[in-house]
Chain A
Amino acid sequence: MTEFFKFDDALWQRVVALLEYDPLSPLTLTTGFFLFAFLIFGIGYLMVRGRATLRTLYVVLFSLYFYYKLSGIYVLLLLFVAASDFLIGRLVYGCRERGRRGRGWVALSVVINVAILTYFKATDFFVDVVNNLYGSGTLNWESVVVPAGVSFFVFQSIAYVVDISRGEIKPLNRLSSYLFLLSFFPKMFLGPLVKAKDFIPQIEADGVSVTKADVGRAVSLVAGGMVKYAVIAKALGLLFVAPAFAGELGDGGFVALMAIYGFTLQIYCDFSGYSDIAQGVALMLGFRLPDNFNAPYHSATITEFWRRWHVSLSTWLKEYLYISLGGNRRGSFRTYLNLFLTMLLGGLWHGVGMTFIAWGVLHGVALALHKIWMRIVPGAKALGGDMSPLRRTFATIFTFNLVAFGWLLFTAEDMSVVGDMLSRIANNFSTADIWATIEANGVAFGLMALGYLLHALPRRADEALRRGVERVGFVGQCVVMVVAIWLVMQCGMLLAAETGAAAGLPMYAAF
């Protein structure tokens, strides 16, 4: 490097170009661009943080820019959803004031939001079906690109209107506050979904409170999340899981089995890692987001799994889908049916296709069966914590494999892939392959071992680690962050060189 940096007109042009939306490099919390943007944003935030109105406006503007850098023109969709539900929320409240329930308005909000979701998620499927029935070219429709995180802000918005109609919250007075609730940049496109009841007071508070301990905790969340999301999940996925599913690593049973376990870890690290980063970044600004994951593979039953996995979504499904369907108040048969329907719709939400339906059915049936089991088997426990250690171990292994099988359905391109992977495990499993496979994929297996080991640690160890980061002080925290960023960048370059893949988005951004 002869000259560290050249300041010229071209540099200015490059800066301007960087500020524009580029579909090839969407903005996420782990990009270098975000690091610089966060610094500039932070300086302004220092000045406005004490005044609720100004702060809200400032954060909303940055959040909208963030979403523009992520999804381009779809920022208008976000604005539309915000405006429509902000208005509907007020109308629903007006009805409640007059003693009516405003069901028509709630229905309108749901219809608008579900229509948006359906358009983005089901159009391709529908076009495919028509073209298969009536010959290709009957419907000439460009493939629909799902805007990143569309379902997260749509769900968030439905919840707001329903909460008002249920009388749990009052509608917000300012559109900017509602936009804040919907688009707060750390959580905007991957959750966690927040309860309006808990989050609105934070928006409206006079000042923000960030303690030294908060900063330490935020650093540990961000750094740990980055390693989980951008190192373990990305590398495991690109180096092993994707090629194994594509059949590039041979058709051995061991590879197939490890690909399924690999994906099980990958989706957890990808999703929970990014959620941790979001939580950490929000905390740095003084906002507390709820935990989204709680060591889900420690679950001893499928019921427990759904209390530990993607908690904000399962809560949402419970409160706005399961309860709306009648929950458990209409007799045991309807309870099972409602559980089943909730999970089926939850599956369908991920995408219209047989594999997602199968995934939803698997979980729906498993949850219903577990409810029946609880009723007919005396001494059956819902949570692992209540079981004897031996029983808990067996239950955990069983639940883990059930969930892993679910992930196979979830990630497989179609049902033939599911059959193929299972038949490879059943018919083509050779112990001779084991060592050769591990040797040939050393990095991936190393990461898988590390990932599962970290996940197996008890919560105490996790907390001890976090407190450690809180205690190392400012310099130590800087070092932790720099090391994490360095690791992410190394991993990114390694993956680019090995597989040619770019960084991309978290997996769940597609849903």
Chain B
Amino acid sequence: MKSSDSTPRVVLLTLTVIVGVIALGFVPQFELFGMPIRSIDILSDLRDSAADEPVEYEADIERLEQELASMVVRDTVAVVDSLPVLPPVRYEWIEGEVRTEARVKPRSEMLRSVAESRSVAIENFDTLQVTRFDNLVEKLASGEDVRIAFMGDSFVEGDILTSDLRSELQRLFGGRGVGFVACDIPFKTVRRTVKRSSSGWSAYSVMKPKSVPENLSDKFFISGYLARGGAGATTTWSTTDAFPTLDSCTRARVLLYSRDTSTVELRINDTIPHSFVVAGDDRLRELYVEAQNIGSVGVKVVDGEILCYGVSLEGDSGVVVDNFSVRSNNGHAIFGTGAAINRQADDMLGYDLVVLQYGLNIMQKGQRGYTNYRKQLCNMITYAERCFPNAAILVLGVSDRWVKSDETGAYESIGSADALTSYQRAAADSTNVMFWNTYEAMRALGGMPQFVANGWAAGDHTHINFAGGRRIAKALVAAIVEPVYELLKEREEEQRRIEEQRQRVLEAQRRQQMQLELSLEATRGLLEGVDLASIDSLGQGGEEIATDTATIDDVESGEDGIEEVALNIESEK
């Protein structure tokens, strides 16, 4: 039946259909009955973006727990038989005499104007009696050291927003230095708060796991970047004077991982070198330098091979804010970081607050449902909680964003920021952490159009710039400071009340003593003045004496009262 064979027709049909589908790909996106009709691209798998597209991590709580568990077991073993002796976690180098700065003891007066400028408050969904946020507020109020990890996407890249958050908190609560800075990143970035020059490293990003050697895949820290270097690899970080507290610092901590023994040289201010022999170990370690006026830190691998995460530049007390921005990360990259590395970093650095700022990359025009993202966010929060068990977690809602309308070409609201915000809040609510509504804070400042008009955001109506970041940072600082201010005010009020009461009691005591003396005087006078001539008035005088005796009793009981008040004061202290 060769004559009726239409097989060529089938092949031709397939070819025509392919051409047709490719041609349809040139139809731009449009809307039909309010539903977005997207551009199709049947060749998408062959395009550059597909290969470069970061892998979507899934939360693997089981792996997380395993990694954390194996970490604990290791430590216990080391304690039990104490052999072999574990190499130290920290290698110290104290250069010269370091004058410690006086710790800032905040007073409500200093915080009042900031606190009163608060527009959007932090919503705390924590159900503990004393929430982790309470602990943070307490630490800030009593002037203790506080460390904040600010995890975000390109919104805070280059230290936008975080630089002002840091500067403002350090102004109010003390502290110096820019915090964590990565060692090397596989693409060019600029941070005006710190300079970095590096060479000789292989740099990896958690967002491109396909390019990461397998044995390094569980070694990522939440910074998201990893630099592997052998002898000769070097990086120098230098401070800048973009902000008053950043020009110099007194501590530098280089975070690294050295499976086998290696020799690493540190150099501060380009002059004094110091060599460390880092014994091989399967843990995160730090090279710790303390010196007056650190302006630059250089690290150089002399021998062996290390993974270098970066440096933390800090003062000797106060607040440290680490910027962990990873471009085009929806937050899921945390699932690709090593739980054990994160926990070891936490043991080392001690985070009190972890901020999660994500969502800009998943927001779609007009999309109102984000159930999947909510679930993913809950897992991110769980991850952060397990890795940083003492930290309060603060979820920042997505920022305002406007997009070009297809019909008019004018910018219009993306129409989904409020929806995504509510899903993010729901995630914070169900996981009992904190939430701050960035969208609302931006709207209080006029919204995205106003940001663009004021020159606070780029023309794309999506990314804010430093000026915009400063406004949002101030609003966030106000939200954090407000409860600190309230706490301090309450305490100072209480102090004042107690002081006043003490004064009142002392006053009463003094008055009663005086009265007592006066009445004794009077009685004495009376008794001295008794003579035959005034016998008539004796009865009257007797009554007066009785009255006076009562006054003396009063005074005595009054003294009891004073003791009682004193006891109260003791107990209130």
Query: Given A486-B21, A493-B38, A500-B372, does the pair A14, B9 have CB atoms closer than 8 Å?
Result: no
Shortest Cβ gap from B21 to chain A (Å): 5
The answer to whether B6 and A215 touch across the interface, beta carbons within 8 angstroms, is yes
Which chain A positions have C-beta within 8 A of B10? 42, 210, 215, 218, 284-285
Shortest Cβ gap from A207 to chain B (Å): 6
Query: Given A42-B14, A478-B13, A493-B40, does the pair A50, B2 have CB atoms closer than 8 Å?
Result: yes
The answer to whether the Cβ of B535 comes within 8 Å of any Cβ in the partner chain is: no
The answer to whether A207 and B2 touch across the interface, beta carbons within 8 angstroms, is yes
A43 to B369, CA, bound (A): 45
Query: Given A486-B21, A489-B42, does the pair A212, B51 have CB atoms closer than 8 Å?
Result: no
A490 to B364, CA, bound (A): 15
Query: Given A6-B48, A207-B1, A497-B364, does the pair A482, B21 have CB atoms closer than 8 Å?
Result: yes
The answer to whether the Cβ of A481 comes within 8 Å of any Cβ in the partner chain is: yes
The answer to whether the Cβ of A376 comes within 8 Å of any Cβ in the partner chain is: no
Shortest Cβ gap from B10 to chain A (Å): 4
Query: Given A10-B48, A45-B7, A50-B2, does the pair A486, B24 have CB atoms closer than 8 Å?
Result: yes
A50 to B364, CA, bound (A): 52
Residues in B29-45 with C-beta less than 8 Å from chain A = 35-38, 40, 42-45
A490 to B30, CA, bound (A): 12
Residues in A68-84 with C-beta less than 8 Å from chain B = none
Shortest Cβ gap from A234 to chain B (Å): 16
Which A-chain residue is minimally distant from B24 (CB atoms)?
Answer: A486
Which chain B positions have C-beta within 8 A of A215? 6, 9-10, 13
The answer to whether the Cβ of B46 comes within 8 Å of any Cβ in the partner chain is: yes
Which chain B positions have C-beta within 8 A of A208? 5, 7
Residues in B363-390 with C-beta less than 8 Å from chain A = 364, 367, 369, 371-373
The answer to whether A499 and B51 touch across the interface, beta carbons within 8 angstroms, is no
The answer to whether the Cβ of A211 comes within 8 Å of any Cβ in the partner chain is: yes
Query: Given A18-B46, A490-B40, does the pair A499, B371 have CB atoms closer than 8 Å?
Result: yes
Query: Given A11-B46, A478-B13, A499-B371, does the pair A485, B1 have CB atoms closer than 8 Å?
Result: no
The answer to whether B48 and A481 touch across the interface, beta carbons within 8 angstroms, is no
Q: Which of B6, B11, B45, B367 contacts A43 (CB 8 A)?
A: B11
The answer to whether the Cβ of B17 comes within 8 Å of any Cβ in the partner chain is: yes
Query: Given A207-B5, A219-B13, A497-B364, does the pair A490, B18 have CB atoms closer than 8 Å?
Result: no
The answer to whether the Cβ of B4 comes within 8 Å of any Cβ in the partner chain is: yes
Residues in A185-233 with C-beta less than 8 Å from chain B = 207-212, 214-215, 218-219
The answer to whether B11 and A481 touch across the interface, beta carbons within 8 angstroms, is no
The answer to whether B13 and A10 touch across the interface, beta carbons within 8 angstroms, is no
Which chain B positions have C-beta within 8 A of A43? 11
Query: Given A15-B46, A477-B13, does the pair A212, B6 have CB atoms closer than 8 Å?
Result: yes
The answer to whether A39 and B369 touch across the interface, beta carbons within 8 angstroms, is no
Q: Which of A11, A39, A209, A284 contacts B1 (CB 8 A)?
A: A209
Which of B15, B46, B51 has the most C-beta atoms of chain A within 10 angstroms of its own C-beta? B46
Which A-chain residue is minimally distant from B16 (CB atoms)?
Answer: A478
Shortest Cβ gap from B1 to chain A (Å): 4
The answer to whether the Cβ of B539 comes within 8 Å of any Cβ in the partner chain is: no
Which chain B positions have C-beta within 8 A of A284? 7, 10
Shortest Cβ gap from B464 to chain A (Å): 25
Which chain A positions have C-beta within 8 A of B20? 478-479, 481-482
Which chain B positions have C-beta within 8 A of A14? 45-46, 50-51
Query: Given A14-B50, A49-B7, A493-B40, does the pair A39, B14 have CB atoms closer than 8 Å?
Result: yes
Interface residues of A toward B: which range? 35 or more
The answer to whether A46 and B11 touch across the interface, beta carbons within 8 angstroms, is yes
The answer to whether the Cβ of A134 comes within 8 Å of any Cβ in the partner chain is: no
A477 to B43, CA, bound (A): 22
Which A-chain residue is minimally distant from B17 (CB atoms)?
Answer: A481
Query: Given A215-B6, A284-B10, does the pair A35, B38 have CB atoms closer than 8 Å?
Result: no
Which of B17, B38, B42 has the most C-beta atoms of chain A within 10 angstroms of its own C-beta? B17
The answer to whether the Cβ of B96 comes within 8 Å of any Cβ in the partner chain is: no
A207 to B7, CA, bound (A): 11
Which chain B positions have C-beta within 8 A of A210? 4-7, 9-10
The answer to whether the Cβ of A326 comes within 8 Å of any Cβ in the partner chain is: no
A1 to B44, CA, bound (A): 12
A499 to B376, CA, bound (A): 12
Shortest Cβ gap from A503 to chain B (Å): 12
Shortest Cβ gap from B422 to chain A (Å): 15
- The interface bits of chain A over 420-455 (1 if a CB of B lies within 8 angstroms of the residue's CB, else 0) are 000000000000000000000001000000000000
Q: Which of B11, B43, B45 contacts A39 (CB 8 A)?
A: B11
- The interface bits of chain B over 450-493 (1 if a CB of A lies within 8 angstroms of the residue's CB, else 0) are 00000000000000000000000000000000000000000000
Shortest Cβ gap from B310 to chain A (Å): 30
Which chain B positions have C-beta within 8 A of A49? 5, 7
Which chain B positions have C-beta within 8 A of A36? 18
Residues in A442-486 with C-beta less than 8 Å from chain B = 443, 474, 477-479, 481-482, 485-486
The answer to whether the Cβ of B8 comes within 8 Å of any Cβ in the partner chain is: yes
Q: Which of B7, B36, B369 contacts A286 (CB 8 A)?
A: B7
The answer to whether B17 and A33 touch across the interface, beta carbons within 8 angstroms, is no
Which chain B positions have C-beta within 8 A of A11? 46
Which B-chain residue is minimally distant from A489 (CB atoms)?
Answer: B40
The answer to whether B6 and A490 touch across the interface, beta carbons within 8 angstroms, is no
A243 to B36, CA, bound (A): 22
Shortest Cβ gap from B563 to chain A (Å): 63
The answer to whether A474 and B43 touch across the interface, beta carbons within 8 angstroms, is no
Which chain B positions have C-beta within 8 A of A481? 13, 17, 20
Shortest Cβ gap from A277 to chain B (Å): 14
Residues in A390-419 with C-beta less than 8 Å from chain B = none
A11 to B44, CA, bound (A): 11
Which B-chain residue is minimally distant from A6 (CB atoms)?
Answer: B48
Query: Given A13-B51, A210-B7, A219-B13, does the pair A490, B45 have CB atoms closer than 8 Å?
Result: no
The answer to whether A482 and B40 touch across the interface, beta carbons within 8 angstroms, is no
The answer to whether B7 and A211 touch across the interface, beta carbons within 8 angstroms, is no
A214 to B24, CA, bound (A): 27
The answer to whether the Cβ of A142 comes within 8 Å of any Cβ in the partner chain is: no
The answer to whether A39 and B50 touch across the interface, beta carbons within 8 angstroms, is no
Residues in A368-407 with C-beta less than 8 Å from chain B = none
A489 to B12, CA, bound (A): 22
The answer to whether A212 and B9 touch across the interface, beta carbons within 8 angstroms, is yes
Which chain A positions have C-beta within 8 A of B14? 35, 38-39, 42
Which chain B positions have C-beta within 8 A of A218? 10
The answer to whether B13 and A33 touch across the interface, beta carbons within 8 angstroms, is no
Which A-chain residue is minimally distant from B2 (CB atoms)?
Answer: A207
The answer to whether the Cβ of A97 comes within 8 Å of any Cβ in the partner chain is: no
Shortest Cβ gap from A404 to chain B (Å): 26
A17 to B35, CA, bound (A): 34
The answer to whether the Cβ of A247 comes within 8 Å of any Cβ in the partner chain is: no
The answer to whether the Cβ of A32 comes within 8 Å of any Cβ in the partner chain is: yes
The answer to whether B2 and A39 touch across the interface, beta carbons within 8 angstroms, is no
The answer to whether A35 and B5 touch across the interface, beta carbons within 8 angstroms, is no
A38 to B37, CA, bound (A): 27
Shortest Cβ gap from B499 to chain A (Å): 57
Q: Which of A39, A45, A211 contacts B18 (CB 8 A)?
A: A39
Which chain A positions have C-beta within 8 A of B2? 50, 207
A6 to B43, CA, bound (A): 12
A43 to B20, CA, bound (A): 19
- The interface bits of chain B over 307-348 (1 if a CB of A lies within 8 angstroms of the residue's CB, else 0) are 000000000000000000000000000000000000000000
Chain B residues engaging chain A, CB cutoff 8 angstroms: 1-2, 4-18, 20-21, 24, 26, 35-38, 40, 42-48, 50-51, 364, 367, 369, 371-373
Cβ contacts A to B, 21 pairs, < 8 Å: A1-B26, A5-B46, A14-B50, A33-B45, A35-B18, A39-B18, A46-B7, A46-B11, A207-B5, A209-B4, A210-B6, A210-B10, A219-B13, A474-B13, A478-B20, A479-B20, A485-B42, A486-B24, A486-B40, A499-B372, A500-B373
Known A-B contacts: A13-B51, A207-B5, A211-B6. Give 15 more (CB < 8 A).
Answer: A32-B42, A35-B14, A36-B18, A210-B4, A210-B7, A215-B6, A215-B10, A248-B371, A284-B10, A286-B7, A478-B16, A482-B20, A482-B21, A482-B24, A486-B24
Q: Which 5 A-B pairs have CB atoms at the shortest separation, nearest pair first?
A: A500-B372, A482-B20, A42-B11, A209-B1, A489-B40
